Amino acid sequence: QSVLTQPPSASGTPGQRVTISCSGSSPNFGRNAVSWFQQLPGTAPKLLIYRNSHRPSGVPDRFSGSKSGTSASLAISGLQSEDEADFYCAAWDDSLNGWVFGGGTRVTVL
């Protein structure tokens, strides 16, 4: 049972917009920022969004993040076939004194 809650799956057709939610609680989302990772099969997670809504260099602007209260979301606009992957949210938890993660959302491009 992951500390952060994500839907297990999401899907869309090429060009569509897909949104993934991530639900937390006060110890993690209360004072701390959310980050998002993309994981392709057989590879390590890759940082996609940091500090709730910032993209590292090289991440396409099709990916965007937001956070409000104890909820966060990742949006993928203009969905492409190469976006098929598992996506995870993460945040520091002040109660557990450690990083906590969502259970992951598998995005399928139909």
Partner 1 sequence: QVQLQQSGPGLVKPSQTLSLTCAISGDSVSSNSAAWNWIRQSPSRGLEWLGRTYYRSKWYIGYGVSVKSRITINPDTSKNQFSLQLNSVTPEDTAVYYCARTGETGDVDYWGQGTLVTVSS
In the complex, which residues of this chain contact partner 1 (CB under 8 A)? 2, 33, 35, 37, 43-47, 50-51, 54, 56, 88, 90, 92, 96-104
Coil, strand, or helix at residue 83?
helix
**Shortest spacing between CB 41 and partner 1, in angstroms:** 12
Nearer to partner 1, 24 or 102 (CB): 102
**Shortest spacing between CB 12 and partner 1, in angstroms:** 24
**Shortest spacing between CB 14 and partner 1, in angstroms:** 28
- Copy the structure tokens of residue 27: 């110890």
Question: From the CB of residue 29, how many other CB atoms can be counted at a distance below 10 Å?
Answer: 25
How far apart CA 104 and CA 84 sit, in angstroms, is 13
Question: From the CB of residue 109, how many other CB atoms can be counted at a distance below 10 Å?
Answer: 18
Nearer to partner 1, 12 or 25 (CB): 25
